Amino acid sequence: MNVGIVVVAHTKEMAVGLAKTLQHIAPQLSVTAAGGDSKNNVGTSMARIETAFKANLATELMAFYDFGSARRNIELAAAFGEKNVYIYDAAFTEGACRAATMLQAGKPQQEINQALQKLMIKAQQ
C-alpha cells in the first residue's frame, strides 16, 4: 500500500502553500493540491480535486480540507475515482502536517489515524 496526501482549500494559494510545506516535511511523500473553483475564484471544484487525485502517485489517499463544501466535493470526486480516498475532519494544517510527518517516518496507518483523532475538530454533517 502506497499512501499519499491531497489537500483541498478554497483558494489555490492556500492549497499549494500547504502542499509545498508538506513536501518539505516529507520529501518522499506524494502530495497534490486542489484549490479554488473552476474560474479561479474562492471555492472548490470537483474537477480540480479529481485532477489532484489522478496526479498523486499513491494508490491510497488521505484527504485534508479547509472547511465546508470542500468535503462534499472530495466525496463526489472520490466516488468517481479509482483510488481509495480517506477524508479527515482534522484541523487542516496541523492534521496534514502530522500525517505527512508520520508517513515519512514509516508509521502504520492505524497509528496515524490514532494520532489524527486528537485533531478532529470538524463536525460531520
Largest CA distance in the chain: 39
- Measure the CA–CA gap between 85 and 95, rounded to whole angstroms: 16
Query: Which of 48, 78, 73 has the alpha carbon at shortest distance from 60?
Result: 78
CB-side exposure of 31: number of CA atoms within 13 Å?
25
- Per the annotation, the verdict on 10 as an active-site residue is yes
* Active-site hit among 3, 5, 8, 10: 10
- Measure the CA–CA gap between 48 and 29, rounded to whole angstroms: 20
Q: Catalytic site residues?
A: 10
